[in-house]
Amino acid sequence: MVVDTGKCAAAKTVLREALAACGGNTKDKAVITAIENLQALNPTTAPAHSGSLMDNEWLLISAPNFPQGEQLADGKFAYTLGRLAFNMFQPTGLKVVIDRVLQPVFLLENGEQRTHDIVVEFTTIDESVPQLAGIVRNQGICQPMSDTVLQVQFTGGILAPQTSTNLKEWKAVFGEQGKPTKRSWKDSLMFGFLKLMFGLVPPQAMNQETGEIAFIMNRSPKGRLEILYLDEEMRITRGERGTVLVCERQ
């Protein structure tokens, strides 16, 4: 396939500008048009099999797609901790702001699957606790289903402090894992469903040395992820529910 690098570069610039103008919303008409134009110029014919292009650490430049978020005046997005990881980590109602979302994609030792972790760096903004910087890592794996589609499944998650965080303060806020917590009937129903269907093993205790807390998903569901565009700089994907995410290589 003959690729016009000048057209690709111009189309990526248009997409970046469109995302910046609408707060990263990939449902915005200008963004949709920009993605469609770029997709038509895709230089990679079989992106799901293009390991050398897929492998790296990717930075999300479109808006996060976690449920029930709120965009703040500075353009960042705020959520409760529970919305970042299946309500697995307590306190689920703690308010946090997302600083950035990364996705490291690297080949696993079996030579067939790749990592598909979603790494969310956040800072607490809840007035009831000190300001703490942490990471939620939703762990996943992926492998090709076709030239353009990946099969994706999540296997668990980790909550951990960032290196700058005071570990004593972190333990005071997040140390009470595994205790009964008050949930809405809707959240309780969803938690029970996830536990039954997907073999969720909730976090039981914190690692006292690192401050890490983990949960496991023993029967993780398999999903599909279509790669709309992939080159040396940018990756655009669309999930089963139609959610489009735009990432740049780090």
b/e map 36-51, b = 16+ CB within 10 Å: eebeebbbbeebbebe
Q: Which two tokens stand for residue 248?
A: 């740049």
pLDDT score, position 144: 98
Predicted confidence band of residue 61 (pLDDT cuts 50, 70, 90): very high
Round the average pLDDT of the chain to a whole number and report it: 93
**Mean predicted confidence (pLDDT) in 159-165:** 97
pLDDT score, position 38: 97
pLDDT score, position 204: 84
Q: Please give the C-alpha separations between residue 172 and each of 80, 175, 176, 198, 208, in angstroms, as whole numbers.
A: 18, 6, 8, 30, 11
**Which residue is it, tokens 């306190």?**
91
Residue 67: asked if its preceding bond is cis (omega within 30°), the reply is: no
Higher pLDDT, 4 or 226: 226
Predicted confidence band of residue 3 (pLDDT cuts 50, 70, 90): confident
Pairwise CA distance, residues 140 & 106, whole Å: 11
Phi, psi of 80 (to 5 degrees): -85, 155
**Mean predicted confidence (pLDDT) in 35-44:** 97
**Mean predicted confidence (pLDDT) in 159-184:** 87
Among 85-89, 170-174, 193-197, the range of highest mean pLDDT: 170-174
Residue 199 CA to its chain's centroid (Å): 21
pLDDT score, position 107: 97
pLDDT score, position 129: 96
pLDDT at residue 47 is higher than 80? yes
Q: Which two tokens stand for residue 112?
A: 């067939």
pLDDT score, position 219: 84
* Number of Cβ atoms within 10 Å of the Cβ of 3: 12
Predicted confidence band of residue 198 (pLDDT cuts 50, 70, 90): confident
pLDDT at residue 171 is higher than 90? yes
Helix (H) or strand (E) holding 127, with range, is none
pLDDT score, position 178: 67
pLDDT score, position 33: 99
- Model confidence pTM above 0.85: yes
Ordered by start, the domain boundaries in the chain are: 1-41, 54-249
**Mean predicted confidence (pLDDT) in 32-41:** 98
Predicted confidence band of residue 164 (pLDDT cuts 50, 70, 90): very high
Cβ distance 136 to 89 under 8 Å?
yes
pLDDT score, position 187: 65
pLDDT at residue 220 is higher than 90? no
**Mean predicted confidence (pLDDT) in 166-189:** 80
Would you call 128 helix, strand, or coil by DSSP? coil
